[in-house]
């Protein structure tokens, strides 16, 4: 199938493109390129790229595709706090523009990279897809707002699917250290300390970036009736962990490291999610294949191979907010995150 992959230059996109190519699909990327010089090791597999801001998507960008996989976004809470309204403008309104153009152009499938963070401060354990959204941040709010707008566009010829990803982990050619498992592994390797900003009690559902990629491929290849206007939590019950459990798992593979706790960093997110639906109703997925322990081993191999240093771990390349601030401070993008003409 011909797939337009937005956010193709980011952490998940760089892995998902390979999964699509391995399954014989034809992939074109669409991305504005904030992180295109942020390689971790070898660069991602090259694919044709439309270098475009989501806010300016054109009909010709989407025309002729069998599916849009929509990942492009300001992808976390710190970015969401950069400037009021920006997350809404890009993640909600930019996404609505893309979906409307896709629908008008007759693209039958639209797969959206949503997030389990829309459950927010979920009081209960085991939140299913029917649990009410309780977004705690502009980022999480943008995910539920766009899901609702997209659901309203559903008809016989336009099938959206909402893949509500748990927090990702694992190595990617466009690595992020600003997500919890990756961050704690980076601390352990570079400082010999595993440093939590919280008291370690919040729950996080977690999922390997390769399992996210496989979920997208399964949803793309599934019969329409299995995925039409359906939400799926993407992750596994086994990978629902409290943050301190992640720290102790890292320590088990690097026993010389100390674990340290913070108090509260004002982050009220805690949620524990049920993954029965994806395991039983998304054809071909069955279960997430990778555990946090697998990823810690994978990270230690990669850090050894690439001789990861503290300045790289703490630097701009692998922390989304630092890279965006660098692009602003060096005059490459403006306050609206638009590229300045040179
Ligand atoms: N990584 C996770 O833990 C996680 C969990 C749940 C959901 N998600 C969602 O999955 C998607 C991908 O996440 P990721 O971790 O790869 O993030 P990322 O930040 O690594 O990648 C996002 C990509 O979107 C692009 N982008 C941002 N704004 C754009 C704009 N205005 N126009 C065009 N391109 C733009 C960036 O250049 C980047 O390449 C996001 O929608 C994110 O919200 C991620």
What confidence tens digit (pLDDT) does each residue in 176-187 have?
A: 999 999 999 999
Is the CB of 71 within 6 Å of ligand 1? Answer: yes
Mean pLDDT for the chain? Answer: 95
pLDDT by residue (tens digit) across 225-251? Answer: 999 999 999 999 999 999 999 999 999
Length of the chain: 342
Q: Provide the H-helix boundaries in the chain.
A: 13-22, 59-62, 77-80, 86-87, 95-104, 138-153, 180-191, 209-221, 224-227, 243-253, 276-281, 292-306, 310-314, 320-329
Helix or strand or coil: residue 319? coil
Query: Quick one: tokens of 298?
Result: 């994978």
| Separation CA 11–CA 8 (nearest Å) | 8
The mean per-residue pLDDT over the stretch 260-272 comes to: 76
CA of 9 to the centre of ligand 1 (A): 9
Read off the pLDDT of residues 20-70 as tens digits, 9 standing for 90 and up: 999 999 999 999 999 999 999 999 999 999 999 999 999 999 999 999 999
Q: Is 327 in the pocket of ligand 1 (CB under 6 A)?
A: no
Does the pTM surpass 0.85? The reply is yes
CATH topology of domain 2-175+206-241+268-291: Rossmann fold (3.40.50)
The whole-number pLDDT of residue 72 equals 98
Greater confidence (264 vs 333) lies with 333
In angstroms, the CA 218 to CA 238 distance is: 21
- For ligand 1, the distance from its centroid to the CA atom of residue 75, given in whole angstroms, is 4
Helices and strands per DSSP (H, E), number in the chain: 14, 12
Number of Cβ atoms within 10 Å of the Cβ of 240: 22
User: Does residue 161 have its Cβ closer than 6 Å to ligand 1?
Assistant: no
Which has the closest alpha carbon to 177: 73, 42, 313, 300? 313
Query: If you measure from the C-alpha of residue 38 to the centroid of ligand 1, how many angstroms do you get, rounded to a whole number?
Result: 14
Q: Which residue has the higher pLDDT, 82 or 114?
A: 114
pLDDT above 90 covers a percentage of the chain that reads: 87
pLDDT classification of 197: cutoffs 50, 70, 90: confident
Residue whose C-alpha is closest to residue 102's, from 68, 127, 54, 69? 68
Residue 341 above 90 pLDDT? no
Q: What is the Cα–Cα distance from 46 to 48, expressed in whole angstroms?
A: 7
Atom of ligand 1 nearest to the CA of 167: 3
What pLDDT score was predicted for residue 76? 86
Q: For residue 195, which of 205, 207, 185 has the smallest C-alpha distance?
A: 185
CB 14 near ligand 1, within 6 Å: no
Average pLDDT (147-171) is 98
Do 239 and 95 touch, CB atoms closer than 8 A?
A: no
**Does residue 191 have a pLDDT over 70?**
yes
Task: Please report the pLDDT score of residue 198 as a whole number.
Answer: 86
Burial status of residue 58 (CB atoms within 10 A of its CB: 0-12, 13-18, 19 or more): exposed
Residue 122 pLDDT class (50, 70, 90 cuts): low
From the CA of 71, how far away is ligand 1's center (Å)?
A: 5
Q: How confident is the model at residue 123 (pLDDT cuts 50, 70, 90)?
A: low
Which residues make beta-bridge pairs with 259?
194
Q: How far is CA 288 from the centre of its chain?
A: 16
| Domain extent listing, the chain | 2-175+206-241+268-291
| Ligand 1 within 6 A of CB of 113 | yes
Q: How far is the CA of 127 from the centre of ligand 1 (A)?
A: 24
What was the pLDDT predicted at 236?
Answer: 95
Looking at ligand 1, which atom is closest to the CA of residue 116? 6
Q: Which of 157, 109, 158 is CA-nearest to residue 1?
A: 109
Q: Over range 201-228, report the average pLDDT.
A: 96
Nearest CA to ligand 1 atom 7: 115
pLDDT reading at 120 higher than 90 = no
């Amino acid at each position: 199938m011909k797939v337009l992959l937005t956010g193709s230059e980011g952490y998940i996109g760089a892995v998902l493109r390979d999964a699509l190519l391995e399954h014989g699909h034809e992939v074109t990327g669409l991305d504005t390129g904030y992180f295109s010089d942020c390689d971790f090791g070898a660069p991602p597999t090259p694919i044709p790229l439309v270098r475009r801001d989501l806010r300016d998507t054109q009909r010709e960008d989407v025309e002729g595709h069998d599916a849009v996989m929509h990942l492009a976004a300001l992808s976390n809470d710190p970015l969401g706090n950069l400037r009021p309204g920006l997350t809404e403008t890009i993640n909600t309104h930019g996404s609505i523009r893309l979906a409307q153009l896709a629908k008008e152009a007759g693209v039958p499938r639209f797969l959206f990279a949503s997030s389990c963070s829309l459950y927010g401060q979920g009081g209960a354990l085991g939140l299913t897809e029917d649990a009410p959204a309780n977004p705690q941040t502009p980022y999480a709010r943008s995910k539920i707002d766009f899901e609702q707008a997209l659901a309203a566009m559903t008809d016989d010829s336009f099938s959206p699917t909402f893949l509500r990803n748990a927090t990702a982990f694992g190595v990617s050619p466009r690595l992020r250290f600003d997500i919890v498992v990756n961050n704690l592994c980076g601390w352990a390797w570079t400082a010999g300390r595993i440093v939590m900003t919280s008291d370690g009690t919040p729950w996080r559902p977690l999922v390997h970036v390769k399992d996210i990629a496989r979920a997208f491929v399964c949803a793309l290849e599934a019969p329409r009736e299995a995925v039409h206007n359906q939400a799926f939590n993407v992750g596994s019950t086994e990978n629902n962990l409290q943050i301190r459990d992640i720290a102790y798992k890292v320590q088990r593979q690097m026993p010389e490291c100390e674990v340290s706790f913070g108090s509260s960093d004002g982050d009220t997110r805690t949620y524990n999610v049920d993954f029965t639906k994806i395991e039983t109703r998304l054809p071909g997925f069955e279960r997430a294949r990778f555990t946090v322990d697998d990823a810690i081993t994978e990270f230690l191999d990669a850090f050894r191979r690439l001789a990861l240093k503290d300045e790289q771990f703490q630097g701009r390349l692998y922390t989304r907010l630092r890279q965006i601030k660098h692009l602003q401070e060096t005059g490459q993008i403006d306050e609206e995150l638009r590229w300045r003409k040179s």
